[in-house]
Amino acid sequence: MNEKTVYNTLQDHQKNETWELQSCFKVFLEWAEIYNSEFDLKIPEISLSVANLKRSCFGHFHPGHNGFGLRKEIAINRIYLKDREFWTVLGTLLHELLHAWQEEYGKPGKANYHNKQFRRKAEGLGLIVDHRGVTEYEKNEEKSPFLQVLKKYGVSVPNLPESTHKKERGFSKMKKWECACPVKIRVAVSHFNAKCMNCGEIFKKVE
């Protein structure tokens, strides 16, 4: 049995097994796929758990492999499920998924779990995270893909206060693309389809 089948089998079990967290897992797994698709995260395996974690955290990401040999385990703190608004739990899920994204494609910090790369990625989606991992949210929907996706799928969010966290300096939604020449350009769209007039090659995203 290959690893991809293991992850699919685990998710099928979590969604179909008759138990107290069945409906919870259905929702979380559905939203994990929504984020993966809407934000183009391309996380190949999603290992999700709901567990009693420390009261100081809403969720946790386990780098590498967990005790079952599964990669990138994301845990949502069970003790807060009834007390928190649904949209904030979805915010925690996205936060932890971004750790999985960084482990797959980026450079996770060793001394700083929420390093600059992570904070910039989160900020680009509307999550304003400080170096300790405390998460606040961009209140302007036009600047928050997170809020836009919640609205798209019918999740209500109250009026948010201004974030007290400092935003990352130099943050930009501009992405670098290059052709075979290579000519380098930056554009503020996630899907860019253009051909270089010199070499005739399609521009490819490099960051």
Query: Is 160 among the domain residues?
Result: no
The reply to whether 123 and 205 lie within a common domain is no
Q: 3-state DSSP call for residue 110?
A: coil
Q: What is the mean pLDDT of residues 40-59?
A: 91
Asked if the structure places residue 157 within a domain, the reply is: no
Total count of domains within the chain: 2
Residue 27 has pLDDT above 90, yes or no: yes
User: Quick one: 123 and 197 in the same domain?
Assistant: no
Tokens of 150: 């919640």
DSSP character for 161? P
Is 163 domain-assigned? no
Do 98 and 42 reside in the same domain of the chain? yes
Same domain, 143 and 72: yes
Closest CA to 33 of 115, 87, 94, 117: 94
Per-residue pLDDT at 102: 96
The answer to whether position 128 is within a domain reads: yes
Task: Give the domain extent around 24.
Answer: 3-152
Find where tokens 């929420």 sit: 114
Tell me what pLDDT residue 192 has. 76
How far is Cα 124 from Cα 146, in angstroms, rounded to an integer? 9
CB 207 within 8 A of CB 175: yes
**What's the mean pLDDT when you consider all of the chain?**
86
Same domain, 177 and 117: no
pLDDT tens, residue by residue, 182-198:
887 877 666 778 888 88
* Most trustworthy range by pLDDT among 66-75, 78-87, 171-180: 78-87
Work out whether the CA dihedral 126, 91, 128, 103 comes out positive or negative.
Answer: negative
Q: How confident is the model at residue 169 (pLDDT cuts 50, 70, 90)?
A: low
Residues 75 and 109 in one domain: yes
For every residue of 83-113, DSSP letters joined together read: TS-HHHHHHHHHHHHHHHHHHHHS---SS-T
